[in-house]
Every structure is written in C-alpha cells, then in structure tokens.
Structure 1
Amino acid sequence: MFLDAVLRITGLLVLTVPTLAAECTREGLLAATESYLTAQTSGKVSNLKLSSSNFTYRQNNVVSDITKGLLSTAYKVDLNRSTADTVACASYTMWISTSGSKPYVVSTQIRHANNDTSSISMIDTVAASTGDLFFDAKKTLGYIQKEDWKIIPAEQRPSRELLKKVGDAYLDMWTDAKAADSIPWGTECERVEGSQYTNPCGKTLPRGGSSKNNGMRRYVIDEEMGSVDCQFDSLGAWPDSHEVRVVAGKVKYVHTVTVMKLG
C-alpha cells in the first residue's frame, strides 16, 4: 500500500509539472543564419535543418521547391550581415555576390515555429540580379561595406514600436502624401536603392499618388541593431525588401532590393 501511494503521488507530480515553452534566443536565430549561409555557399540544401512537418520556401514572393531555387546553386558571398528578432522568432540576412555569370543582391527572412530555432519553418527570399531595378552588385557592395553596423548601446536603442512605425511609414509613402514627413530622417541618412546612392535619404521621396498599397508585409525587427526589414509586394506586383536602420532616434540607412525587370 505504501508503494502504491508513492506511485500515485509521483505520478501526480509528473502530471502537474508544466511543460516549459521553448525560448527563442538571439544566439539560436543567428546560428540558423549561419547554417543558411553555409548552405548557400555550398549549394547544398542538406546543410539546413528544415521543419519536417511544416516548411515553406518562398522566392520572390512565390512558394516553390527549395531544391530548385537559389539555394541549389553555390555562390561566393562577398558580404553578408544578419539581424535577429526574438519576438517574431525570425531573422534577416542580406548577402551580396559579385562574381560569376549572374551576380546577386539577396534579402532573406528565416522564420521558426513555436520559438524553436533548432529547425526552420520558412525561408523567404527576395533575390535581385542583372536587369532588375538599378541593379549593380559591385556598386551596392562598395556602398554597404562602408556602413557602420555596430550594436547600439542598450540605453540608446530605438523601441520596437518606433522601428515598426518607421518601416510602415516608409512603405506608406507611395499612397500617403504625408507619410514621408512622419519619418525621423537623419541629416546624414544614406539610401542605397539597388545601386543608386542618395544622401540625405529625405530628398526625392514618393509623396502619394499610387492607389495600390505596398502589401504582403513581413517584418524582422531588431532593437539591438536598430533595424527593421520588411519584405512585401511593391505596388501590388514586384517582390521587394526594404531595410531601415535607426540610430539616435533618426533614420541612418535605407537599403532596397527590388525584383523589377527594366525594359
């Protein structure tokens, strides 16, 4: 009887111990970006730990077969940089390849289900190449190599709410004539749009006129880096990625990757 009582008690304890939720960590997110870059430079999708139950690969806003996409070919990466969003359990990686017959500037968001960074539930890539809007990988590389992307001290970091607001206002400029003036532009803000360089960012901006919103918005927000990346369908048709960095409360950098064939 004593043994039966012990078993009943221990069984009850096992049943009442709560299951701890997985924690999405910055380290886990950035480790996943490293595995993604390894897969890209080797051209081997097998280097990735993909979710066995619910994985999606999206390239230029189209859900497709990962084994037939950009990751199936090895590319020499000249520059890469990643940011992490522990709230959304997602990361953003930008990489540039200037060599070979087809250079690329690529923006990729990686997402993880249930806060579990040990496997990847989505790879979402916007990949611009020769013939796309203002495309010149070597010029883009030269501009971005000069930028300062040090982690922002804790007491100076912009809030998640501010970063989201800035990202949305930037995308709203095409439909809202007042959106541009709501953005805290820095006096030395630099915008790299394809390979076109503009300083300061706050000049030559859209001020409404479009009837179609920039939609299908997917965000990666990193307060430590003061950045927000949003991938979307530009003006209803074109795959697009815009990354904005806010330093000392002002927009410092804007990068755009647009898949829009000219001519």
Structure 2
Amino acid sequence: MLRPTLIGALVTLVAIHPLTQAAECSRDGLLTAASTYLSAQTSGKITDLKLASNFTYQQNNKVSDIAKGLLSTAYKIDLNRSTADIVACASYTMWISSSGTKPYVVGTQIRHRDNNTLEIAMIDTIAATTGDLFFNAKDTQKYIAAEDWTSLPAASRPSRDLLRKAGDAYLDMWTDATAADKIPWGTDCERVEGSRLTKPCGGQLPHGGSAKPNGMRRYVIDQEMGSVDVLCQFDSLGNLPDSHEIRVVDGKVKYVHTITVNGK
C-alpha cells in the first residue's frame, strides 16, 4: 500500500508533468489536410473530407451549407498553392480553374481545433468568378504561375509580427493616409489584383479617403514562405468578400494577390 505522502508526491508529479501532452500542430498535417481539400474540390465529393462534428463552412463571408457550396461541384484545378500556419493551426490554399465553362479564382483558409489536423473544423472560402472585380482566371493564372515561391532560409524568415503588420497596413490604406508608407515595398514587387498586374507594387496606392475600415479579418501566417493571407470584408469599398495575400522576401514585399467578390 502506498503511503499518503507518496501518493501526494505522485499527484504533484503528474500535475507538473502530465502523462499525455497536447498534440502539436504540424506543417505536414496542415498541408496534408489542404491536399485532401483540393482532392475533394476536384472530385466534387464532400465525403472525401474528414470534418469535425461541429464543422463550419463559410463561403464569401456567409456561413453556408457545404452541400450547396463550391465543394459540391467538381472543378478541374489548373493551378494551386498552399501555405501553413502552425501557430493558428490553419492553412491557406489558392486555386484557379481557368479551363472550364465557369472559371474560378479561389482563396480558402482551413482551420483545425485543438491542433488536430486530422479533422477540419472550418473551411472559409472566398470564391471569385466571371463578373467579379478585374476577373480573368487565365490572366491571373499566367501571372501567379510565373512567381517564385521557394521556401525561405531559416535565417531570413520574417517574424509573425512583421507579416501581420504588413497585411493589416495594406488593408488600412483606404482609411489611413499614412498606411501605405509603413509597408516595406520591394523595388521588384508585383501586385496581382484580380487579373490586373501592377509593377512595382508601391505605385498607384490609396492614401485614405474612406471612413469604413476593412473588417472581419482572418489570418494565416506562414513564416517559412514569408506570407500572410487575410480574408476579410472589404468595407471600404462596400462590404465585399475579399482575400489579400502578401509575400515578404528579404524584408521587402515581393508579391501581393487580391481576390475580390462583388458582393452578389
């Protein structure tokens, strides 16, 4: 029989060093889940996804029935790329379908609960198609396919704080006259807004003028890729569902991508 003092010591030891530790969110797990999302989109079969019991599907900033959303239809994906945020346990996937009868440019954040990448807690999608702002899927695909998204060396990866500030400053340009000047623009930066290419990024920028800040901001920050994606509601221009992705290389903004839906 264990003496009371020994039992107390064991209880204290277990409290300090739990026998089971919470799982860590892994990059591989996030990217694997993103891959299953792409496979489900290609097949149009929601059953290919392992969804959590209290799963949420959101499309163009509205909570929706996944069975009636974009994932219920199969699309040929002509270009895709995913990034991973192990701190938020979330991923961002951009995909383009330019060869079908209804083209799409899509940005999707996938979120996991309790660091469990085996189950998807939320799929949050911004989906632009014909008629949306500056939309031309073939041109967008052409510009983005030419970009370099090689992983950054560990020593030169930007901090999460810098990436988030870059994303916020970009979205603040419409309400803050000084925001554009706070962004570290690269001289070779490229900005793809819908299908419009602007080089360098730092030209033709807003400097305030709107009273409505862009809200509903949701972030996926990937330091290995030097990127931040922000899904939001573009209130400065009229409640538009929107995705803004920014990549920072060597401390300077290298790429900016925007997907904006006209709010229909």
Given the two structures, how large is their TM-score scaled by the length of structure 2?
0.93
Does the 8 Å contact 1:83/1:92 carry over to 2?
A: yes
Using the alignment, how far apart are the partners of 1:251 and 1:15 within structure 2? 47
Using the alignment, how far apart are the partners of 1:28 and 1:89 within structure 2? 9
For structure 1, the residue ranges without an aligned partner over 5 or more in a row are none
Find the counterpart in structure 2 of residue 230 from structure 1.
Answer: 230
Offset at 1:101?
1.5
Does the 8 Å contact 2:135/2:194 carry over to 1?
A: yes
Using the alignment, how far apart are the partners of 1:259 and 1:241 within structure 2? 9
The residue identity in structure 2 corresponding to 1:131 is G
Using the alignment, how far apart are the partners of 1:75 and 1:209 within structure 2? 39
Offset at 1:46?
0.5
Q: For 1:140, what is the secondary structure of its paired residue?
A: helix
Find the counterpart in structure 1 of residue 246 from structure 2.
Answer: 244
Q: For 1:212, what is the secondary structure of its paired residue?
A: coil
Find the counterpart in structure 2 of residue 39 from structure 1.
Answer: 40
Does the 8 Å contact 1:106/1:257 carry over to 2?
A: yes
Using the alignment, how far apart are the partners of 1:157 and 1:114 within structure 2? 26
Find the counterpart in structure 2 of residue 170 from structure 1.
Answer: 170
Q: For 2:99, what is the secondary structure of its paired residue?
A: coil
Does the 8 Å contact 1:66/1:72 carry over to 2?
A: yes
Equivalent runs, 1:55-204 vs 2, <5 Å: 55-204=55-204
Find the counterpart in structure 1 of residue 259 from structure 2.
Answer: 257
Using the alignment, how far apart are the partners of 2:126 and 2:2 within structure 1? 61
Does the 8 Å contact 2:110/2:123 carry over to 1?
A: yes
The residue identity in structure 1 corresponding to 2:214 is N
Q: For 1:55, what is the secondary structure of its paired residue?
A: strand
Does the 8 Å contact 2:84/2:221 carry over to 1?
A: yes
Does the 8 Å contact 1:133/1:261 carry over to 2?
A: no
Instruction: Write out per-residue CA displacement over residues 221-241 of structure 1, whole angstroms, 9 at most, x where no aligned residue.
Output: 000000000000002511000
The reply on whether 1:23 has 2:24 as its aligned counterpart is yes
CA-based RMSD: 1.7
Offset at 1:255?
0.2
Using the alignment, how far apart are the partners of 1:69 and 1:31 within structure 2? 22
Structure 1 outlier segments of 4+, above 3 Å: 12-17
Using the alignment, how far apart are the partners of 2:222 and 2:138 within structure 1? 27
Using the alignment, how far apart are the partners of 2:183 and 2:103 within structure 1? 33
Using the alignment, how far apart are the partners of 1:241 and 1:87 within structure 2? 20
Does the 8 Å contact 1:94/1:108 carry over to 2?
A: yes
Using the alignment, how far apart are the partners of 2:210 and 2:122 within structure 1? 31
Offset at 1:100?
1.8
Given the two structures, how large is their TM-score scaled by the length of structure 1?
0.93
Offset at 1:15?
6.8
Shift of the 261–118 alpha-carbon distance from structure 1 to 2, 3 Å rule, reads: closer
Offset at 1:93?
0.1
Offset at 1:5?
5.0
Offset at 1:22?
1.4
Instruction: Write out per-residue CA displacement over residues 82-108 of structure 1, whole angstroms, 9 at most, x where no aligned residue.
Output: 000000000000000012211000000
Using the alignment, how far apart are the partners of 2:116 and 2:58 within structure 1? 20
Q: Answer with 227-236 or 103-112: which moved more.
A: 227-236
Equivalent runs, 1:206-217 vs 2, <5 Å: 206-217=206-217
